[in-house]
Amino acid sequence: MADSFGFAEARKRMVEQQLVRRGIKDERVLQAMCEVPRHRFVPPNMWAMAYQDHPLPIGLGQTISQPYIVAYMTEQLELEPHDRVLEIGTGSGYQAAILSRLARRVYTIERLPELSERARLVLEELGYDNIEFRVGDGSQGWPEEAPFDAIIVTAAAPEPPPPLIKQLADGAHLVIPIGPTGYQDLMRITRHGPHLRTEYLTPVAFVPLIGLHGYAEPDENS
């Protein structure tokens, strides 16, 4: 599907007004944000809002993050073209698309099969062919493909999941929201051999990470 001039102009404005003005400096991140058609990752009735400065619902209680947060978290990973990245929380597939433009390979895990399949179809249609998909508990990571040069978690955990820490390569960053539902601290954890460095980045609000090392799945009968 061809990208219209109007959407291309909307992406350019998004990058200039929402990202550059807020301090996003990584040129590769800015270029990826300018190229990836964000509207393709939201329902068609929301295409007109796709490049606005806020998150959008994508169904099943999930959201596509505000463009600035996507760019900011991606920049904090400090990706190189040869890197292998693990993403926890495929969601719409938009974050995976951005990562795929910056890294050699992206491994993305989603617990909801419907979302994973929807994202896979959109990403394949757009020609992003360096992404591997898995349906399952993202809090346990993807041990068969570890270690990873970067890990990004797009859902909030009560504390950093130990399997993700274990799956970090030396010198790699884990960017993850930590805290209760509704309000969290975005943290960056960097492995230096046996040692970990933890940095506070910014306040955020993400849906909860459901899994063994996250939050328990809500009880539908409660």
Give catalytic residues, as residue numbers.
65
Q: Which two tokens stand for residue 35?
A: 């190229």
Assign 23 to helix, strand or coil. Answer: coil
Angle made by CA atoms 7, 8, 12, in degrees to the nearest 5? 115
In degrees and rounded to multiples of 5, residue 152 shows phi and psi of -125, 135
Contact 101, 35 (CB under 8 A): yes
According to DSSP, the residues that pair with 192 across neighbouring strands are: 195
Please name the residues in contact with 78: beta carbons below 8 A apart, sequence gap of 6 or more: 150, 173
DSSP letter for each residue of 28-91: HHHHHHHHS-GGGGS-GGGGGGTTSSS-EEEETTEEEPPHHHHHHHHHHH---TT-EEEEE--T
